[in-house]
Amino acid sequence: MASEIADERRRALENEGYKFPYLQLPTDPIQLKALPTGFSDMSYREQQEELWIVQAESRLGKEWELEDPGKHAPYNHDYPPYSPSKAFLRRHTLLARRHGVELRIERYLGGTAEWKSRLAELESQTGVSEADIKQWLWILSPESGDLKIQRFLKSKCRKPLFLLQLLLAKDKKIHEPATFLGLLKFMRENYVLADRPQDELDHPAYKGQGRAVTWWHYLVFLYRLVWHCREGWPAAMPLLARLTADYIGTMRLDSKARALTGYQARSLVLNKSLRYFSWPARVRPIDHMEHNWAAQRHLLRLAATAEPPLVMDQNGYRAVRAVLIALRKSKGEARNADRSAQTWPPYRRTLDGIDERRDPEDDLSRSAKAGMLVREAGYSDDIVDRALSALGGSTFGQAPTIQTRSLPPAFFSGRLASHNIFSEWAAQLRATRNAREAWMVFENPPEPGIRPTAQIYGEMFEKLYARPALESPVIRPGDVKEVFPVFDGNLSEFEIARLTPPSPEELYDLMLLQDKLRPTGFCLAVLVRNSPSRTVALRYLNDSPYRPYIQALQLPASQADTNSLKALSELPPNIFNAWITMLCRLHTRASHDRSAISGTQKEVEDAQSTTNTSVPQGGSISEAITLASAFQAHNTKAAHHDRQPWHTIMQALAGRKVLYSPRGAEFNILETMVAFLHIYERTTASKGADPVSFEALCLMIRKALKLMTFETAEGGKMVPRPYMADTTVIERLLWRAHRYAVKTFEVLTSPVPEGVLGQRGGDASSRGVSETEGEEDELEGEADDWVTPGMLRFNVVGRPVHKYMLALACCGDYGGMVRLMDWLLDGWDREYIREEAKTSHNLDYHYTVRTIAYFAEMGRELVEPAEMDRLRRRLEDMRWEKGCTWFWPQEDRQGATAAQALSELETDLVVIERWPRLRQMINSTDTQEEPEEWDQAGAKALG
């Protein structure tokens, strides 16, 4: 039987083009012991490599003589008795010998006899064998972070701490939730609830040495775990809080370490964890801050219920306030925002008798109340606290500001602590409603006599360039970046003219001439991003300290050489991303067109005289794609985690921008669709799925169908095309895009496996900061902070789900529409539907109701009547039995939400009618297999 298996494996390797002789398992016990512990789990090719290493080891230093290492010989030291990196180098040189290559590094590795003796010494002292070390090399060999962890979890070998640190390094990518949770479970069972893994406890060398993970080790691990959560799974923050609470609970109070006592170490871990949990997510950071608050809330309950209670330091309180600032307004805070006066400062108005009897503390936000707890704990307010108070709506003794949902500005410590006064000033500027109010704050610094820095000018430019906010009952000042209307009141024309802020051009001249400042950092990013033309943007970059790096931006990307592109990668990522945003915003359809908002002739001549080059006009998404690829090819750090340039490009392609095709205008949408799908595939493959890319994909599907179905008539009205050319290729592209959308939604909404990290729990009666807030409505949805099986990876309920429903309907995927509605209704009792989608004063609620209204209208044309009746009755039952706030629109009555759904319905019905073949392709039974002729058809169409 064994010979048959060996013959089968030999034939499989031969079919793969394997050119080396097939090796059998050795009969020598010593060689068998030297094989990795997980040898049976390896592939045939990996097993052959390990067998070659075992058989060839004895030849190194004997048959293969080693040259004299020369002057490096004295550096060989007996400590440490082993080195995993040296084991990797030995493996590398032996595999090179198999190919007939002799590496010079062999002479520095020593002979096999010396290596084996050191391994024997290591095994006698610690129990770590040669097989364990080789298994470690196999674990670390793949490039995929998920595969590394999967190999680690299933391997039966010693698993020291350094191996965990390598798996959680910041340059690793962890995409699979089950993999990440499996690693957390391993850490909890072996290093949190236990002092050491059982195999270490069984060895005499480790008995009596205490726990392997000290508080210092745990904080290092938590730092890296939070880093990975920010990258690809913000909703897992409460899970890390649960792990941290378990670790704090196992820390011994009677510890008498030289640095900290057990109680001091507990408090230190608490405060460091609160700071880590205040770090925002990489994708839509403010939208996912609720998960940071859930994690912090769990630790605050632990601090209040521990015996003795844990002590929070000033930085711990600040971390909590930073998270509270970024949360959506509660009902009480929304009412306070509505009572703010339209003049500046925005004092609270008394609207009725109930307001007359209100306690002054009722006008404070949650962040401001947390600031009061800081003072009660004995800490005095400094500049950092005043900056947080400005964004949180101010507190007693301070001028009122607008509670602004935002990330706090950067703060400094040490010798740069004096710069925090400008962070306070920047926070005050941000906490305004329009450019006039910001200009009033700009002219009144926190301390008399100080002049603004580039950071302050950047905040002012941000207000000047901000778009006006849409009129909506759920959007209040401070909720969005857009500015609100200016209120003149009874001001005279002279006073209005005095308070009117300068234009961006006048403010820029003021910065250069009066304050002698060069644009840099955030200020430069705002200027470049909002530049009216490419020429003006180059002027800003030439005035900045980054002039030596922008040579590639002064020419078309196709003419830039390698050295200039490499120098471009030295730009800070936020400056480069601002340039990409500018290119996408100023994109023109034809390659020879000028930008619609190009600079003046004098600006063009000035820029050309400065750079001695011909400045190309307008913007180009194609150029943005080329520059982004080159930038990330030379900047590995940006390539690893920066999704911003690709998000910007995909959003531009899915918006009103269309790429130019040299084959004719009818091929423009095809060119756009191919470029979008290429970027989407590459971005999701390297950085994982996220809601921004998913939403852009849904918009792109609907945009492509509408542009292929309608044309612009006289007066700008969209009318159906009288004739549609061959649509085979675009149908394949749309089929492919639809498949990506369905798979991405499954990835983003994949449930968490049950039974992870113990049973669901948490003391709901324990007190924390959240219980001092004073209003019941502020505690809605905050009673439970443990992870449920329905937890998502990102927040997708609201706008992303609405755009997904529109895309499914345009494609005619009635089955997907029904499944999406069932998923939405199932979530009312589960955690993945957050409270913002259930309460009528939030934007997510309105998007959810629009999704239901759109389905109710479109479903009449696509979905079976029995399915429609089932979903309608289910929603009505939920309203009666569970108090569901969503509703099915009445046929005889249309509200604002139903009217919005109907405006989208008219065009979508025409789209569905004109694309019957696409509808058939998507709803057929063989849609899980991609058509074989796609590549040939696509290549033929694109030439």
Residue 765 has pLDDT above 60, yes or no: no
Give the burial class of 502: count Cβ atoms within 10 A of its Cβ; 0-12 exposed, 13-18 middle, 19 or more buried. Answer: middle
- Would residue 95 count as lying in a domain? yes
Best mean pLDDT range from 83-92, 690-699, 900-909, 924-933: 690-699
Best mean pLDDT range from 33-42, 643-652, 931-940: 643-652
Among left, alpha and beta (phi > 0; psi -120 to 50; other), residue 716 is left
- Would residue 422 count as lying in a domain? yes
- Would residue 383 count as lying in a domain? yes
Best mean pLDDT range from 77-86, 219-228, 741-750: 219-228
**Short-list 707, 530, 711, 553, CA closest to 620:** 553
Which of 688, 706, 734 is the last residue in one of the domains? Answer: 688
Question: Looking at the structure, do residues 470 and 594 belong to the same domain, yes or no?
Answer: no
Rounded Cα–Cα distance for residues 445 and 440 (Å): 9
Question: Looking at the structure, do residues 90 and 187 belong to the same domain, yes or no?
Answer: yes
Q: What is the reported pLDDT for 901?
A: 56
Query: How would DSSP label each residue in 518-569?
Result: ---HHHHHHHHHT-SSHHHHHHHHHHSTTGGG-GGGSS-GGG--HHHHHHHT
Against a cut of 0.85, is the pTM above it? Answer: yes
- Report residue 5's pLDDT band, with 50, 70 and 90 as the boundaries: low
- In angstroms, how far is CA 934 from the centroid of its own chain? 32
Answer yes or no: are the C-beta atoms of 157 and 38 closer than 8 Å: yes
| Residue 196 CB partners (closer than 8 Å, separation 6+) | 190, 206, 209, 211, 212
Residue 699 has pLDDT above 90, yes or no: yes
Give the burial class of 789: count Cβ atoms within 10 A of its Cβ; 0-12 exposed, 13-18 middle, 19 or more buried. Answer: middle
Beta-sheet pairing, 718-720 with 710-712: antiparallel
Residue 594 has pLDDT above 70, yes or no: no
- Would residue 658 count as lying in a domain? yes
Question: Looking at the structure, do residues 329 and 407 belong to the same domain, yes or no?
Answer: yes
Question: Looking at the structure, do residues 96 and 242 belong to the same domain, yes or no?
Answer: yes
pLDDT tens digit sequence for 874-908: 999 999 998 999 999 886 555 555 555 566 788 88
pLDDT tens digit sequence for 779-835: 343 433 445 556 788 999 999 999 999 999 999 999 999 999 999 999 888 878 888
Answer yes or no: are the C-beta atoms of 852 and 886 closer than 8 Å: yes
Question: Looking at the structure, do residues 319 and 367 belong to the same domain, yes or no?
Answer: yes
Question: Looking at the structure, do residues 48 and 89 belong to the same domain, yes or no?
Answer: yes
Other residues' Cβ atoms within 10 Å of the Cβ of residue 541: 24
Q: What is the reported pLDDT for 593?
A: 41
Question: What SS3 class is residue 235?
Answer: helix
Of the listed ranges 444-448, 454-458, 722-726, 794-798, the one predicted with least confidence = 722-726
Long-range contact list for 930-938, CB < 8 A, 24+ apart? 930/736, 930/739, 931/732, 931/735, 934/732, 934/736, 937/728, 937/729, 937/732, 938/674, 938/729, 938/732, 938/733
Question: Looking at the structure, do residues 605 and 684 belong to the same domain, yes or no?
Answer: yes
Give the burial class of 378: count Cβ atoms within 10 A of its Cβ; 0-12 exposed, 13-18 middle, 19 or more buried. Answer: exposed
Question: Looking at the structure, do residues 367 and 429 belong to the same domain, yes or no?
Answer: yes
- Would residue 69 count as lying in a domain? yes
- Would residue 164 count as lying in a domain? yes
Question: Looking at the structure, do residues 249 and 340 belong to the same domain, yes or no?
Answer: no
Question: Looking at the structure, do residues 401 and 459 belong to the same domain, yes or no?
Answer: yes
pLDDT tens digit sequence for 660-688: 888 877 888 999 999 999 999 999 998 88
Residue 938 has pLDDT above 70, yes or no: no
Answer yes or no: are the C-beta atoms of 547 and 541 closer than 8 Å: yes
What is each CA distance from 942 to 63, 664, 705, in whole angstroms?
A: 59, 11, 19
Question: Looking at the structure, do residues 419 and 343 belong to the same domain, yes or no?
Answer: yes
Answer yes or no: are the C-beta atoms of 669 and 658 closer than 8 Å: yes
Q: What is the reported pLDDT for 752?
A: 62
pLDDT tens digit sequence for 269-313: 999 999 999 999 999 999 999 999 999 999 999 999 998 899 999
- Across all residues in the chain, what is the average pLDDT? 84
Q: List the alpha helices (DSSP H) in 99-214.
A: 112-126, 130-140, 145-154, 161-167, 177-187, 198-201
Determine what percent of the chain is predicted with pLDDT higher than 70. Answer: 85
Which amino acid is located at 373 in the chain?
A: L
- Would residue 267 count as lying in a domain? no
Residue 203 has pLDDT above 50, yes or no: yes
Which of 253, 271, 288 is the last residue in one of the domains? Answer: 253
Answer yes or no: are the C-beta atoms of 158 and 200 closer than 8 Å: yes
Q: What is the dihedral of CA 236, 237, 241, 247, to 10 degrees?
A: 70
Question: What SS3 class is residue 173?
Answer: coil
Which of 485, 508, 531 is the last residue in one of the domains? Answer: 508
pLDDT tens digit sequence for 29-81: 888 898 999 898 888 888 888 998 988 888 877 777 777 776 665 445 555 55
Q: What is the reported pLDDT for 81?
A: 55
For residue 132, give its domain range: 16-253
- Would residue 855 count as lying in a domain? no
Q: What is the reported pLDDT for 896?
A: 54
Rounded Cα–Cα distance for residues 660 and 666 (Å): 10
Question: Looking at the structure, do residues 499 and 531 belong to the same domain, yes or no?
Answer: no
- How many domains are there within the chain? 3
